Structure 1
Amino acid sequence: MTASPPSGRERHGGLVLLMAVAFAIGILALVAGLLVAVSTRLDTGDRVPATLASVGTWAWVPLLVAALLLPLAAGLAWGRARPLLGVLTAVAVVGLVVQVVWLAPRFTPDEVGGSGPTVLTANLKYGAGDAGTVVRLVRERQVDLVALEEVTPASLARLRAAGLERLLPHAAGRPSEDADGTMVFSRYALTGATAVPVSLGGVSVSVAAPEPFRFLAVHVSDPLFHPGPWYADLGLLQRTVRASTGPVVVAGDFNTTLDHAPLRRVLERTGLRDGAEQAGSGLRPTWPSDRLVPILTIDHVLTGRGVAVAGTDRVRVPGSDHFGLLARLAA
């Protein structure tokens, strides 16, 4: 028995359903994309916008969905709905273009000359990061300076047993049984060590490299669970860098992306620049490294006052939930 073709009413009902689905998903995607994009412009310590801004890099994804689905809904619509959907489509397209322009500098490397030390920063996740891997990276990648966060006494003992102090004999900072153990290990002599009292530990040292500079290793609080301390930490970091003199490098776990306005304010007022952006490294999230897809770039090497970054690399540290970040400096 041959099935009868769908009636005009059935075809119309199918088109209405398709339009409704495209409209609903498109509107939700547009609202989500705009909320995230707007949150990246807010210099605030409030939890909701600060958390939304964490994923600001990916605002283009829902905006792209909206830019694809809303025209489909407009094509199937009739009456006054069609021009309204046209306006919403234009908003989605403009938002998408703005995001692309916003992200473009992260793919464009600066032209830098000269060579300098290689820096590694890595969060060890309460000391669980593999000490042997850290030491192997130092040896094979000829790392001169390491900033480690969440260093516990036990992990420090493992690092020493693996030979870190033979490669990098100078150290500053302290381990901790909590998340605030932040330490620096260096091939060069370190002097003038002082604490940087951010929530999760920091240390500032002068590095006697061929071209000396001030080096800060920091572990900033997070905006989701501790938005107040997070915002205060970034303000403290800004004041600390501005109070220093000469070339400066800041490395560590910032729990903050370049999409957060408070971090961009720190960069603007201190003259620091993000190393991965200088190197044109693109979108290379550093957290979470122990999940299928990392989404947040919260580990940074920042430089300023005559120190630049020629290249960066993301490296895996088994046992940690962060990728390590290597940066090759250029003076």
Structure 2
Amino acid sequence: MIRWPLRILLGVGLLILLTGALGRFSPLLDIINLAIVPVAFACVLLALILLAISLKRGKASKPMGIVLVICLIVLFPLPDARGSCAADAPRLRVTWLNAEGTTRIAPILAWIDAQHPDIAAFAEFKTGPTRLQEEMRRRFIADQDCLPTGTCSTRIFARTTPLSSAGLTRGTVANRENLMATRMRFDFDGEPLTILATHLPRPFPPGPQREQLAELSTHVDDPANTIVLGDFNATRRMHTLRDFARANALVSNPVGAGTWPLMLDGERTRPFVQIDQVLTGANWTVEGIRATRNLGSDHRGIVAQLCRRTP
């Protein structure tokens, strides 16, 4: 009797996987890919249980074996830029944090001091004269937020002076109605380097997220030498992000843990999706990348050690 409830659950899981696969054709269906990995894990578990029951009854289940393979294919790792470089290769350390909900700056500053990044980028960085801004400016030479004039909560801090910097937002930043992004360009060890930071809207209602990614693409004018940091409100499995990365010859990189949500309805939770991303161009390798502990935000931060590939 236990087989039928398990089969029904597995059927629902397979339907979700199929719907997620159709997300390449519809932003609405693509939302399902936010949670496609846990669904695929559940399908693998259910298929294994049903396969074990069949084997115990002396009946090999070929269809269940096929279902298991399908679920495992969904879990197959996506390409990333992890690797190693020569000992003398130029290296860059970057951090990213959506600071939404933070009330104490001490954990953030302690993290910055411990990681000592060359680039520190933020979303939801409190605007105006604040203690956090003052302390960050003591540690970094340059900073740029996303507005050409005024202040914006998406910001980049750098330890070296950029060749140029610019806020890329046009219009209001209220409710992320327009692209929130900022850019810095550097001469990094004799080679060009572009850093972009962005905070995109949620995937629902569908449409605005893809529209803003299309606008962000217009600012990726040197893909091989570009690094994009941001809260994309999209996972690596979502076609919205995959299409953006593919169109701009960028690679999204897994951090090995969920980055959101740390808090949900005021309660502490365990993050289960990676919506904060580090995307790298072809000239950059990720030597190490990981999510942080709780810094007081509802997101985990990311720290990444990057190195320039040898031509």
- Under a length normalisation based on structure 2, what TM-score does the superposition of the two structures give? 0.81
2:95 to 104, 116, 120: 120
Higher alpha-carbon Rg: 1
Q: Show the counterpart of 2:158.
A: 186
> What's the Cα RMSD here?
2.9
> What code does the residue aligned with 1:308 have?
T
Q: Larger % of helix: which?
A: 1
Do residues 298 (structure 1) and 275 (structure 2) align? yes
1:236 to 197, 203, 215: 215
The Cα shift of 1:105 comes to 5.2
Do residues 256 (structure 1) and 229 (structure 2) align? no
Unaligned runs of 5+ residues in structure 1 are 1-18
What is the count of residue pairs matched by the alignment?
Answer: 290
Secondary structure at the aligned position of 2:283 is classed as coil
Deviations 1:157-181 (A, max 9, x none): 12134x2111112010158xxxx62
Write out aligned runs for 1:145-156 (5 A).
145-153=119-127
Deviations 1:114-134 (A, max 9, x none): 2422111100115x2642222
Identity of aligned residues (%): 23
The Cα shift of 1:88 comes to 4.3
Do residues 137 (structure 1) and 111 (structure 2) align? yes
Q: Determine if contact 2:186/2:192 at 8 Å carries over to the other structure.
A: yes
Do residues 57 (structure 1) and 37 (structure 2) align? yes
Deviations 1:266-321 (A, max 9, x none): 22221111233xxxx5x311111234321111111111041222111211343211
CA distance in 1, matches of 2:197, 2:120: 9
The Cα shift of 1:67 comes to 0.9
CA distance in 2, matches of 1:46, 1:315: 30
CA distance in 2, matches of 1:138, 1:289: 19
Write out aligned runs for 1:1-331 (5 A).
19=1, 21-36=2-17, 38-40=19-21, 42-47=23-28, 49-71=29-51, 74=54, 86=61, 88-100=63-75, 102-103=76-77, 109-113=82-86, 114-125=89-100, 128=102, 130-153=104-127, 157-161=130-134, 163-173=135-145, 181-190=153-162, 191-196=164-169, 199=178, 201-210=180-189, 211-223=191-203, 225-241=204-220, 243-244=221-222, 247-276=225-254, 281=255, 283-290=256-263, 291-331=268-308
CA distance in 2, matches of 1:145, 1:184: 7
The Cα shift of 1:253 comes to 0.4
CA distance in 1, matches of 2:78, 2:27: 28
Q: Determine if contact 1:43/1:261 at 8 Å carries over to the other structure.
A: yes
Which has the larger displacement, 229-238 or 306-315?
229-238
Deviations 1:190-234 (A, max 9, x none): 3141415574611122134334411110011111x3321112122
Q: Determine if contact 1:64/1:93 at 8 Å carries over to the other structure.
A: yes
